[in-house]
Structure 1
Amino acid sequence: MADLYRMLGIQRTASPSEIKSAYRRLARKYHPDVNPDPASARRFARITDAYHILNDPQRRKLYDREGVTADRATAQRAQQAARAARRAHYQAQADRAVNEWLAKERAETKARGHAVFTTVTLFLSTFAVAMFKPGIVETTNPFWYIVLILLFAGSIFHLALTLKRHFDHYTYRQEMMSVMRSSRQRKPFTRKFAAGFVVGGYFASLILGFLIGLLAEDFTHTLMGETTFLDGIFSALFYPPIAVLIVDTMYVVNLRLEEW
């Protein structure tokens, strides 16, 4: 900003009367009524602004202390407030983006853990049942027959629903690969690969369990009694879905307790 004292041709210690005298002297020289030159008119406007600032004790004090006029100080404060508001806005956006990313990571971790629990429980329970061949629970009470049937039906429904949810989250259909490239980028496996992994893992656990059961036949007979191959087949179909239902329920309950 220009030096207002120099513009009026006075010292910084000039009194109000000296400021007024300097202004009158310059006004007689540059006033548009006296000098119609456009440059003189612009200079007269600057001289008038300088006079109004220096003739006001408060504005002169501010100018002497900070080298700015009140108008400019107000503008600077407004600019500082605007910069602070922009920083707060950008910080809020960054915080929101980080929070959204963390929330997605937490949700993805939960989904991944649930998928691992489901598949591992299915394979391990199939392996254990095929190895020990426990046989279906026998009871003469019709009520418990109904309970077992409902439990088995509910576990089959739960297993199918859970596998479908995991498939929808982690797999994509290969025939739709060219149409939904973004889906392929987010989902790491094809639907056929995942289905093959689940079915193949189930049968591999079943066969491995039967083989180890044959090798440890004396131990399994001592523990479970005499069982047949058919008992093992029925048990491998009956118990693993129930095991998945129980473990998944425990997993979900544990997550709810952690959220509390």
Structure 2
Amino acid sequence: MANLYAILGVNRTADQNEIKSAYRRLARKYHPDVNAEPTAASKFSAINEAYQTLIDPDKRRIYDRTGSVTRNTSPSHHNSPAARAARRAYYQARADRIVNDWLQREREETRARGKAVYTTVTLFLSTFMVAMTKPSVFETASIFWRILLLVLFGVGVWHLFTSLREHFDHYTYNPRRMTAARLSRGDKQFKRSVAWAFVLGGYLLSLCTGMLIGMLTEDFSSQFFGNNTLTDALFAVLFYPPIAVLIVDTMYLINVHFEDL
């Protein structure tokens, strides 16, 4: 039979307070809820068996005299109640970690998907609206607002390309970079070229649709936005959508931040 005093790390002359203190310290260290090692359950079972024996004066007296208690209370007996409880606690903690990891991955995936949707939908919708209405905010603004819009445009362009690259890295794979030793594409569903075709196609479709509707309603829109040349229209569809994406994505990130509080 194993040395129960050595298991708890106490002397044979240790009193009950020392035994309790050693048990609490070791139980916190090897409890399956906090220790993911495969041997944690068996160690915790042995610690629990040793404590149950040494904390009881009668069992401790028998153990000190004979070197054992009973056959069924041996720390190596895998069918003892304490061993079964330790195994249940270990596998329950393991299952909880698996579920928590899965939930965390699902939350991260939901956020990544939401951010991708906000970026692309805002890009397409803002392009459509600008192509249709051809606003002249920049031309009629004061020097202060022009500088501010230029700064927002620069940051917006950087943010747009950074976001698209992030979304492409998350959802797409590049067949040309897949070597013979690394043919797996993981859980990425789309080719990089397909994603680029979707973004560019959606942008051009939004642009053409907006310009077409804008021409059909030119008399109506000119009352509110004035007459614009083709150059003004092209400037608008290149200038304003990155700013719109920047603003909407920032609002989305702020909302996600407050949800985490």
Indicate whether the TM-score tops 0.5: yes
Confirm whether residue 247 of structure 1 aligns to residue 239 of structure 2: no
Greater Cα radius of gyration, structure 1 or 2: 1
Confirm whether residue 150 of structure 1 aligns to residue 171 of structure 2: no
Q: 1:79-94 counterparts in 2 under 5 A?
A: 79-94=80-95
RMSD value, Cα: 2.2
Structure with the higher helix share, 1 or 2: 1
Alpha-carbon distance between aligned partners in 2 of 1:77 and 1:252, rounded to the nearest angstrom: 52
Alpha-carbon distance between aligned partners in 2 of 1:161 and 1:233, rounded to the nearest angstrom: 23
Alpha-carbon distance between aligned partners in 1 of 2:253 and 2:115, rounded to the nearest angstrom: 8
Q: Is the 8 A contact 1:129 1:236 kept in 2?
A: yes
Q: TM-score, normalised by structure 1?
A: 0.69
Q: Give the SS at the match of 2:80.
A: helix
Shift of 1:228: 2.0
Q: Which residue does the alignment assign to 1:167? A: 168
Alpha-carbon distance between aligned partners in 2 of 1:140 and 1:131, rounded to the nearest angstrom: 20
Shift of 1:229: 2.1
Q: Which residue does the alignment assign to 1:134? A: 135
Q: Comparing 237-246 with 192-201, which one deviates more in the overlay?
A: 192-201
- Percent of pairs with identical residues: 55
Q: TM-score, normalised by structure 2?
A: 0.68
Q: Is the 8 A contact 1:133 1:228 kept in 2?
A: no
Structure 1: which 4+ aligned runs deviate by more than 6 Å? none
Q: Is the 8 A contact 2:138 2:146 kept in 1?
A: no
Deviations 1:163-220 (Å, cap 9, x if unpaired)? 11111111110113454333x2311111111111111111110011001111111221
Specify every segment of 5 or more residues in structure 1 that has no aligned partner in the other structure, as ranges. Answer: 1-57, 60-69
Alpha-carbon distance between aligned partners in 2 of 1:98 and 1:164, rounded to the nearest angstrom: 30
Alpha-carbon distance between aligned partners in 2 of 1:181 and 1:199, rounded to the nearest angstrom: 28
Aligned residues: 193
Q: Which residue does the alignment assign to 1:196? A: 197
Alpha-carbon distance between aligned partners in 2 of 1:118 and 1:140, rounded to the nearest angstrom: 27
Q: 1:199-218 counterparts in 2 under 5 A?
A: 199-218=200-219
Specify every segment of 5 or more residues in structure 2 that has no aligned partner in the other structure, as ranges. Answer: 1-57, 60-68
Confirm whether residue 223 of structure 1 aligns to residue 227 of structure 2: no
Equivalent position amino acid for 1:223 in 2: F
Q: Which residue does the alignment assign to 2:183? A: 181
Instruction: Tell me: CA distance 1:77–1:103, structure 2 relative to 1, closer, same or farther (3 Å).
Output: closer
Confirm whether residue 104 of structure 1 aligns to residue 125 of structure 2: no
Instruction: Tell me: CA distance 1:157–1:220, structure 2 relative to 1, closer, same or farther (3 Å).
Output: same
